[in-house]
Structure 1
Amino acid sequence: MPTLLLRLAGPLQSWGTTSRYDERDSQLEPSKSGVLGLLCAALGRDRHLPVDDLARLRMGVRVDREGVRVRDFQTVQGVLKRDGKADADSTIISPRYYLSDAVFLVGLEGDEVDFLRSLQAALHRPVWPIFLGRRSCPPGLPVALPDGVCDTSLEDALRRHPLLVGGEEGARPLRVVLENPDDSQGALRMDQPVAPFAERRFGARFVRSEVWTCPSS
């Protein structure tokens, strides 16, 4: 099965999956909903349109450089009260979590190579600006890779691609997070889109974490 590879690298990234109310979290690696949202922006797909074709893709992440988790305190005004009305005089502190200086190689495995090539083309010429989880987190390097579409499985594509960061000789261990194809066991992630993004409905998927030794170049 073919695989599309993406490079997610930037000064800041944020991949929330459990954010509610005033606190906004971030996982230690990209969420599936966040990556598919990035692709929707590249395609120019409206938030009210279905994302079933994207949601069927199986995702894996190779962590080429672990990010440093940082917290930012922001203030929010006009908070809704219990009666549903906004209070213009109220201000709350809203903690926001980010990953600083992280680099990820993300793979999306599908059945149709032409569909993956269309996604690759959209990443080269995105309709709307793309960002790494939040609008305040633009990519520091192009997301599209020159050799982004591979005629190999998700595991092979992630294992064979050279490291996205330099400065180290030889192979080294890397953390890898893979979506389980049978969707029945592993660590739970509530980031599988089950409806258009405008409805903000996400289901469960299961992932497993491994450590691989990958080539440096």
Structure 2
Amino acid sequence: MTGLIMRLAGPLQSWGERSAFSAERDTALFPTRSALIGMFAAAEGIPRHDTAALQRYAALEFTIRIDRPGVSLVDYHTVGGGQAKDKTAATSGGSRKGAAVVTRRHYLADAVFVIAITGPRKDTARVADALHQPHWAPYLGRRACPPDEPLLLRTDAADPVGELLHHVPLSPDLARRAPQNGIVLATFLWERARHQAPTSADTLTVQDVPHSFAPHSRSHGKRRLHRTEEKLPATLADSPLSLHRRLVDYATKEGPS
């Protein structure tokens, strides 16, 4: 089992969890499994209606390190309006009211997530190749949310989770959260309970396992996540170099970790 390491950062992110096209377009507080698999499928050029193709991602496991949770932002948004009924936007039910469709879209501003993707080498290598030369460009939940660079930090990590715990550079602002004895705390989200479900872990239930991305028949299943606070070495954040320089140096390091 090998894996990838991705860093999802940008001015805005939005990871819809419950809402379809409705008045309130929500966001989860972290990248969802559905959104990550959707990003990979888009990079590989898989159309939304190809439900069977989603099985190729079933063996992938995601571990998320929350470097910066971001700030909630709500955008008042209108679609259509001021035109004849047959030329205006359709509602989620398919009807056209001839008036503007009003929505409130929720975002995470200035958030940063580093994600370890673990799975069979044939699967992680295929995803890595697609992300290097994507068929459709990746975005952070919505097309209006482009990612910062570097997006893909490593494609050949022998122990992706170990990289998150010991090697991937941290933002300096995380180190400012009362480091003690050379240690800083970071929130992790695990798909599998680490070390046999530690008692300190919170358990979350989310409905973000994609069964279908087809526009008129989207469906998702549930999964459980385990949230822990992990002790990381403060040296991951304490450096005279800029964070971008450290990320580029880490991403261009030769050979597997």
Same fold (TM over 0.5): yes
Deviation at 1:109, TM superposition (A): 1.7
Residue 83 of structure 2: aligned partner = none
149, 154, 157: which one pairs with 2:156? 149
Residue 15 of structure 1: aligned partner = 15
Superimposed CA distance per residue, residues 151-196 of structure 1 (whole angstroms, 9 cap, x where no aligned partner): 12x5424312323424648541111111137xxx931111001234
Residue 163 of structure 1: aligned partner = 169
Distance 1:82 1:195 in 2: 17
Deviation at 1:43, TM superposition (A): 1.3
Q: Which has the higher helix share?
A: 2
* Correspondence 1:187 to 2:204: yes
Please tell me whether the aligned partners of residues 180 and 186 of structure 1 are also in contact (alpha carbons under 8 angstroms).
Answer: no
Tell me how many residue pairs correspond in the alignment: 211
Moved more, 166-175 or 193-202: 166-175
Please tell me whether the aligned partners of residues 55 and 192 of structure 1 are also in contact (alpha carbons under 8 angstroms).
Answer: no
SS at match of 1:119: helix
Distance 1:117 1:23, change over 3 A: same
Q: Give me the TM-score of the superposition, normalised by structure 2.
A: 0.74
Distance 1:178 1:66 in 2: 16
Residue 173 of structure 1: aligned partner = 185
* Higher Rg: 2
The amino acid that maps onto 2:232 is: C
Higher relative contact order (CA 8 A, sep 6+): 1
Deviation at 1:123, TM superposition (A): 1.3
Distance 1:161 1:51 in 2: 31
Distance 1:106 1:120 in 2: 14
90, 93, 105: which one pairs with 2:114? 105
Distance 2:73 2:124 in 1: 34
71, 75, 82: which one pairs with 1:72? 75
SS at match of 1:87: coil
1:39-118 equivalence runs, <5 A = 39-49=40-50, 50-77=53-80, 78=88, 85-88=95-98, 90-110=99-119, 112-118=120-126
Q: Which has the higher strand share?
A: 1
Unmatched tracts of structure 2, length 5 or more: 81-87, 177-181, 194-201, 237-257
Distance 2:206 2:46 in 1: 24
Deviation at 1:81, TM superposition (A): 7.5
Distance 1:63 1:176 in 2: 6
Unmatched tracts of structure 1, length 5 or more: none
* Correspondence 1:213 to 2:231: yes
Distance 1:117 1:83 in 2: 40
Give the alignment's Cα RMSD to 1 decimal.
Answer: 2.5
Distance 1:194 1:56, change over 3 A: farther
Distance 1:122 1:180 in 2: 26
Superimposed CA distance per residue, residues 50-76 of structure 1 (whole angstroms, 9 cap, x where no aligned partner): 211113311111011121111100013
Q: Give me the TM-score of the superposition, normalised by structure 1.
A: 0.86
Identity score, percent: 33
